[in-house]
Amino acid sequence: METLTILVVLLVLLIFAGLIVFSITNTRQQKRARAQMAQTLGITPVEADTTLLAQISALYQTPGNKPRHSLHNVMRRRLPDGDLFLFDLVDRDGESDSWLERQAVAIRSDTLRLPPFQIFPKINPEKYALGALANAIVEWGVSKVGTPVQFPEFPAFQARYTLTSTDPEAAQRFFDEARARFFARTEYYNLRAAGGLFVFAEIQPGVKLNDPAQITNRINRALDIYRLFQESGGI
């Protein structure tokens, strides 16, 4: 019996040690993958400063809720008139960490003058049987973070996205025909913006982490949005 007990203890210790080794190895592999990706994309790993955290965190606040956000795996590319950041965002307010964003793109620039708004993608009800129900649920949920803004003059844009804002009139003025037409040609874009900063992510299946090709596409799309938002001023 004593020998069996010793064997069980050794087995438990061996499994525990194996888990530690696996965790360390996996972490090192992820760091190497991120470093290689950063080199490929021409972006530089940086420490997240408190100003950037506060600005990004403000875009994810909801009335009566002040989550404890933290930024991870932040990388930066200098732009001629601003900065582009690739980052992960974690909400540490609950019992366990909640990853709100994985490799999202933020662009910060003094040339941006954006009204506060959020854009959430809609599901095409012609492709998916429960699309209309899912869109209704999304619209109900996002109404908690702002007032839904209607764009009857741009039906193609409104069919693709739900837009909410704490300043609906400013958001409606900002989304002119050119901007509405641009987003009407896209899918799965998720956008949060205010002042001189916006965060761009994509809500779609098949997204792979640390895939340079996919991240390059995401960065290029964010830069397209950046140029669009710079045109004709802001608010």
Residue in this structure with the two tokens 């965002």, named with its chain if needed? 89
- Lowest-pLDDT choice from 39-48, 53-62, 178-187: 39-48
Contact, 86 vs 75, CB < 8 A? yes
Pairing state between β 189-195 and 197-202: antiparallel
| pLDDT tens track for 162-186 | 999 999 999 999 999 999 999 999 9
Q: Cα–Cα distance between 225 and 159 in angstroms, integer?
A: 19
CA dist 41 and 35 (Å) reads 10
**Residue 87 near residue 71, CB atoms below 8 Å:** yes
Residue (of 226, 192, 232) closest to 77 by Cα position: 226
Residue 109 CA to residue 102 CA, distance in Å, equals 22
Looking at residues 80-106, what average pLDDT do you find? 89
> In this predicted structure, which of 2-6, 58-62, 217-221 has the lowest mean pLDDT?
2-6
Is the pLDDT score of 209 beyond 90? no
Relative to beta strand 197-202, strand 147-149 is: unpaired
Task: Please report the pLDDT score of residue 219 as a whole number.
Answer: 96
pLDDT band per the 50, 70, 90 thresholds, residue 93 = confident
* pLDDT confidence band for 95 (50 / 70 / 90): low
Please report the sign of the dihedral spanned by the C-alpha atoms of residue 29, residue 31, residue 33, residue 39: negative
- pLDDT (tens digit per residue) in 117-173: 999 998 765 665 555 665 666 666 666 668 999 999 999 999 999 999 999 999 999
pLDDT at 34 over 60: no
Bigger pLDDT: 38 vs 49? 49
Report the alpha-carbon distance of residue 101 to residue 119 in Å, rounded: 15
Q: Which of 86, 65, 54, 50 is nearest to 196 (CA)?
A: 54
Q: Crossing angle for the helix pair 212-230 and 177-184, nearest 10 degrees?
A: 160
CA-CA distance, 196 to 110, in Å (whole number)? 6
Band (pLDDT 50/70/90 cuts) for residue 25 is low
Separation between Cα atoms, residue 132 and residue 196, nearest integer Å = 34
**Model pLDDT, residue 208:** 75
Tell me how far apart the 2 most distant CA atoms of the chain are, in Å: 81
Q: Share the mean pLDDT of the chain.
A: 82
- Residue 88: which pLDDT band, with cuts at 50, 70 and 90? very high
R_g over Cα of the chain: 22
Distant-in-sequence, close-in-space partners of 69: CB < 8 Å, separation ≥ 6: 53, 56, 57, 60, 89, 90, 91, 92, 100
